Amino acid sequence: QKQGKKNTGIDIQRQKYKHPSEVETILNSIMRLIPARSEGENCERNGMKKHFELLKQEVKATRTVYRTLRELLLTAEELHQASLRLQLMDDKTAELIEKQKKRRKGLERWKRGQLEG
């Protein structure tokens, strides 16, 4: 975790699960180990192939969710940064208003001094 960053509770970079592309690579290598056979010859192998095809589809869906989650986290970080900038602008605006009030009071005192003196 980078210093100064607020903990969002989700750390994509250091998750304990494998990245979807790694899982897909593993599934593809397993698929290559299952020899291609005719459907009538070995139903069990074909059943396994169908199972792995379903797993591959799940991995693709997981990748989409993963990508969306990353985008949401980046958006949340951008919103947080924008919020901090707005807060800073509010603080500076309040500071400028106070300075302006002091200048006006000083100017009024000076004018009174000119009129009286």
pLDDT at 35: 59
**Which has the closest alpha carbon to 59: 33, 31, 22, 15?**
22
- Check residue 49 and give its pLDDT: 77
**Contact present, 15 and 62 (Cβ < 8 Å):** no
Q: Is residue 12 within 8 Å of residue 68, measured between CB atoms?
A: no
pTM above 0.75, yes or no: no
The per-residue pLDDT for 43 is 61
pLDDT value at position 54? Answer: 84
DSSP reduced 3-state for 17:
coil
* Cα gap 31→24, rounded to integer Å: 10
DSSP of 25-67, one letter per residue?
Answer: HHHHHHHHHS----TTT-HHHHHHHHHHHHHHHHHHHHHHHHH
pLDDT at 12: 47
- Per-residue pLDDT of the chain (117 residues), as tens digits, is 444 444 444 444 444 556 667 777 777 777 766 655 554 456 666 677 788 788 888 888 888 888 888 888 889 889 999 999 999 999 999 999 999 999 999 999 998 888 886
